[in-house]
Amino acid sequence: MVAMTLLDSILLGALEGFTEFLPISSTGHLILASELLGLSSSDFVKSFMIAVQLGAIAAVVLLYFKKFLDVEVIKRLIVGFIPTGIIGFTLYQLIKDYLIGNSYIVVAALLLGGIALIAFELLHKESDEEPAEIRSLPYKQVALVGLFQSVAMIPGVSRSAATIVGGLLIGMRRATIVEFSFLLAVPTMAAATGYDILKSFDTFPTDGFGLLAAGFVTSLIVALLSMKLLIGFVKEHTFIPFGIYRIVLAALFFVFVLL
């Protein structure tokens, strides 16, 4: 195992920027990629996997900034964040010590999540009667979406998949929950990154903040270039292709790396 280099941070940042908005788990991909790169599972590498997501999330703010000027949308984002914030704060140390960096957990979550996505899409019938505008969503619904989002604290689950599938299960329209899912990522990842850096910055290597900055910028640029396309694809297509991809990736990684 080796320490992270500038090239590693750029590669991982690009991977994060491309996978954040797809239901395939960006954190899971970062963990598997770090394994392939031979990176040590240090506290800094774990913090990098959390913080680099903020680059992709910053792209949401830049492209959807008008949504963040709408008071009704902001109120719903706050309500949606509260369940995840409480659970994340309570389980922070457990998640960082035992879940983040664990390739076996990622592979299992990718496999089971892929099966669940395929089964869900084959059985689910979308409702056309629910509000289409985020600013009109009932607070009970957005709170439930926040609970579903907290499941993604398990690496490999996928935050976008958990929130979108959760929203569809409680009757939300696909286009609405996809957009709300990505807006909800902003307070969620900002809080997660800020809290982790506050708790862990004293363990960072001397070039730690430089590596974080490189990963952040790369993630932001890749996300800006790909986000509209990726979000549009997720809105218009089922998750079955992503479910198949997750199963294949889990099987290949298990056979060729973990074994």
Burial annotation 68-78 (CB, 10 A radius, 16+ → b, else e)? eeeeebeebbe
Distance of CA 157 to the CA centre of its chain: 9
Instruction: Please give the residue that has the higher pLDDT: either 61 or 125.
Output: 61
Distance, in Å, from the CA atom of 226 to the CA atom of 219, rounded to the nearest integer, reads: 11
pLDDT grade, residue 77 (50/70/90)?
very high
Q: What is the pLDDT of residues 177-230, one digit of tens each?
A: 999 999 999 999 999 999 999 998 888 989 999 999 999 999 999 999 998 888
**Prediction pTM value:** 0.92
Question: Using one digit for the tens of pLDDT, what is the confidence trace for 112-151?
Answer: 999 999 999 999 887 666 667 899 999 999 999 999 999 9
Q: Measured between alpha carbons, how far is 213 from 40 in angstroms, rounded to an integer?
A: 19
Mean pLDDT (the chain, rounded): 92
- Residue 237 has a pLDDT of 87
- Provide the percentage of residues in the chain whose pLDDT is more than 90: 79
Q: Provide the 8-state DSSP code for 204.
A: S
- For the cut 90, the answer to whether the pLDDT of residue 3 exceeds it is no
